[in-house]
């Protein structure tokens, strides 16, 4: 059994393609892609989005922890800020990828419609 990176999802109705696009943009990038049949691409988008989402609050959590421990607020550039920025970037990439894949699903179904 051979697995291809390029998937050919099944045909969807126009309302389904709209809902897939909205899921990608508003709920979780990749979820709409998975619902449209693109399991591999959607799964990668979901992993990227969740990783970015998990890394984003690192700076805020470490800054609040240090503030609680020391009793004064120290705002400085450190490695946790880099992790947060990387997380924000990963989530942004996943969101843009979800936008592109959602628009591709919509365009593909509009060109197939009679």
Using a 10 angstrom Cβ sphere, with 0-12 exposed, 13-18 middle and 19 or more buried, the burial of residue 55 is buried
- How far, in whole angstroms, is CA 52 from its chain's centroid? 8
Question: Which pLDDT does position 95 carry in this prediction?
Answer: 97
**CA–CA distance, 8 with 36 (Å, rounded to integer):** 10
**CA–CA distance, 106 with 90 (Å, rounded to integer):** 24
Question: Which pLDDT does position 73 carry in this prediction?
Answer: 83
CA angle 11, 18, 113 (to 5 degrees): 40
Question: Which pLDDT does position 13 carry in this prediction?
Answer: 77
- The answer to the question of residue 4 being in a domain is no
Number of domains in the chain: 1
- The answer to the question of residue 23 being in a domain is yes
Question: Which pLDDT does position 8 carry in this prediction?
Answer: 53
Question: Which pLDDT does position 68 carry in this prediction?
Answer: 92
- The answer to the question of residue 24 being in a domain is yes
Question: Which pLDDT does position 5 carry in this prediction?
Answer: 53
Domain hosting residue 97, numbered range? 14-112
Question: Which pLDDT does position 78 carry in this prediction?
Answer: 85
The CA R_g of the chain, rounded to the nearest whole Å, is 19
- The answer to the question of residue 1 being in a domain is no
- Quote helix, strand, coil % in the chain, to nearest 5: 75, 0, 25
Question: Which pLDDT does position 97 carry in this prediction?
Answer: 97
- pTM over the 0.85 mark: no
Residue numbers in the chain where pLDDT is lower than 50: none
């Amino acid at each position: 059994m051979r697995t291809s990176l390029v998937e050919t999802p099944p045909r969807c109705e126009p309302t389904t393609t709209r809902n897939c696009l909205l899921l990608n943009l508003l709920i979780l990038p990749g979820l709409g892609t998975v619902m449209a049949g693109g399991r591999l691409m959607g799964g990668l988008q979901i992993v990227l989005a969740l990783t970015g989402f998990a890394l984003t609050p690192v700076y805020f959590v470490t800054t609040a922890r240090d503030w609680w421990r020391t009793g004064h607020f120290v705002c400085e550039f450190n490695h946790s800020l880099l992790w947060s920025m990387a997380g924000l970037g990963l989530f942004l990439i996943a969101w843009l990828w979800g936008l592109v894949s959602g628009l591709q699903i919509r365009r593909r179904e509009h060109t197939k419609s009679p």
